[in-house]
A and B are shown apart, each in its own frame.
Chain A
Amino acid sequence: MTDQHLPTPANELACNEAVEIMTDYLEGALSKRDAKRLERHAETCPGCTEYLEQMRTIAASLGGLTDESLSPEMRDRLLAAFRHPGAAP
């Protein structure tokens, strides 16, 4: 680790602050100013750059992880109840 870790001026983000606003950043919910602060921090911080990339990967990768479909029996009963209204499902 070399000059990537220069002392932090008071108005700049620390890593433990940066990680807490990354979801807001990815969701586009940060003010322009705060988004810039985070970007500026990440430019010189390999740890936070990696962390942000990991949060982005998670957001993009979980689609279809599990499926919670109805049991086939319950699905069949529902459809039967629709075909024959009046009969209890």
Chain B
Amino acid sequence: MNKVMPRPTAHDDEQLVAWLRRGEVDALAMLVDRHSSTMIRVALAYVPTRAAAEEVVQETWIAVMRGIDGFEGRASFKTWAFRILTNLAMRAGARERRSVPFSALAEAEETGQPSVDPDRFLPADHSLFPGHWTTMPTHWPAPEAGLLAGETREMIAATIAALPPAQRTVIALRDVEGWSSDEVSEALEISAGNQRVLLHRARSKVRNAIEAYYGAVEEIDYQAVTGERMADTGKRDPR
């Protein structure tokens, strides 16, 4: 049993799992480092505090260590581990009287509110341009290092932290951690459609916040445009 084995380096989960089964602590360290950030984000959808989320993640890794020999690899390691996490997080949430399946959280956040302030558009009964921009988005000043340079980064992070839990979790997994839509839908047990609705709400709010930060909008002078057209038809300006 004292065979020399190469140390695990940048391997995929399945290789690391094989190493873990042989008792390699480095394999566990790599799995923990790779997945704990996303695990904390998912746990935070169920429990109210960062400390409680870390507890859930710790419990999850203990359950993974105990159960790894029984893991048959029918689902991916990630799917399996996150199923354990969700169950433990739900149970912890129940202790905090907050046990709500993710799908119910998602539903509660689906208020049917528009993504952009309705005042930004002409009314639906406008005779020429119903629903068109009155205050148009304009180009953001582009810092060379992109959106995440300097103060903008903190502002965006604060905006995401303040989102309702289901929206926050989806945008964090999709856009911050880089998960695919299938992975997110599966881990959170929601439909692809619900996942997109939450992502849309979240990205829209981030967009609104960046726009407000840059003040990048332009008022459209419909008076000028409609005035001309009304003169053509002999009617009065409907505004």
Partner of B203, one of A14, A55, A78: A55
Bound form: Cα–Cα A5–B200 in Å: 26
Interface residue total, chain A, C-beta cutoff 8 A:
48
Q: Is there an interface contact between B121 and A14, defined as CB atoms closer than 8 Å?
A: yes
Residue of A whose beta carbon sits closest to that of B140: A54
Total number of residue pairs linking A and B with CB closer than 8 Å: 161
Distance in Å: Cβ of B116 to nearest Cβ of chain A = 5
Contacts of B157-187 to chain A: CB distance below 8 A: 157, 160, 171-172, 175-178, 181
Distance in Å: Cβ of A9 to nearest Cβ of chain B = 11
Query: B103 interface residue, CB < 8 Å from A?
Result: no
Query: A43 interface residue, CB < 8 Å from B?
Result: no
Q: Is there an interface contact between B37 and A1, defined as CB atoms closer than 8 Å?
A: no
Distance in Å: Cβ of B163 to nearest Cβ of chain A = 12
Distance in Å: Cβ of A47 to nearest Cβ of chain B = 4
Residue of B whose beta carbon sits closest to that of A21: B200
Contact with B along A48-70 (1 / 0, CB 8 A): 10110011011101111111111
| A interface list, Cβ under 8 A from B | 1-2, 5, 7-8, 14-17, 19-20, 22-24, 27, 29, 45-48, 50-51, 54-55, 57-59, 61-71, 74-75, 77-79, 81-83, 85, 89
